[in-house]
Chains A and B, each alone.
Chain A
Amino acid sequence: MSPITLHDDSAATLYSDHHGWLHGWLCRKMGNAGDAADLAHDTFVRVLTRSSTAQAPALRAPRAYLGTIARGLMADFFRRKDVERAYLDALAALPDVHQPSPETRAIMLEALVAIDTMLDGLKPQVRQAFLLSQLDGLTYEQIAVELGVTRRTVGNHMCKAIEHCYLLAP
């Protein structure tokens, strides 16, 4: 773990003053005490391992700051949950002989989360066109029929999606 730069006392104070509040807040948002406890913990780790300048706001307005970080982590958490559930559903549709090992599963889940993050922010139809092209191998004509739009629109969607991913690709 990276060094804790916040003065030990203030770290302890931050934690004891706000942990209960943050946990309660996350519980209400997530409806699950266990997940909320994990995220509250991750939030504090995130704050305490930041550089001291980045920590300044934590001391000025601790709850606003903790809330912001927790919200980001919660979004990641839900993304991961969605991807994981979808991944397991997709696996369930495969014949038994093709079931990957637990290790492969873990690697693929990470890769899927990364792809899902890369596609984040695309409009649904743009995303759909992009997936039909890149993963299903459909031509623009076929995508146009599938989505009920013109071929030209498909071309525009594709340019938008490709540029988006170009900028966000690892």
Chain B
Amino acid sequence: MNTFIQIRKQFKKIAGFELKKRQTNSLSEKIIKKDQLFEDLARLYFERPKKFNQLLTGLLPLINQKNNSNETLLALVGYLYYIQEDFQKAKMCFLKCINLNSQNLDNWIDLAFTLRHLGNDKLANGILFNYDYLIHYCHFLKLSGCSFLKLKNLISKIFQKSLEKFNQNDS
């Protein structure tokens, strides 16, 4: 916890704005994106590239990415990697975010666009077009902490089922 407070302090010092605790964007809230951090970091990247680089060099080493269970920090690291176009590492962060909090729509959307950048269009679309089913099923099946493989299977199955259902209704 102390480390988190330290990181937040350091973050504000470098970025000039606060690192707010990540809130859950649940489906019932009717918001497309709750966490504005991604956009703020992107603006920083374009408008103050030096500050952005300082975040990379001064902040990233402070965050233990392997055994971190702090959704805010994992999302922050994911965004930093995404902006730098290290999508493989960003994917790992967003997967961990989903494992920690599968009810947060922001986590799913962040993962979906990362997968699109990795060339995994099918899986990305599986999330983007079925985000609601995924959130419900993860809750129903209590899938927190599952592997990427298991998650991948779930996304593919749900995508397939939804296509079958749609095409059946249409015909």
Are A and B subunits of one complex? Answer: no
Binding site for A on B (CB under 8 A): none
Binding site for B on A (CB under 8 A): none
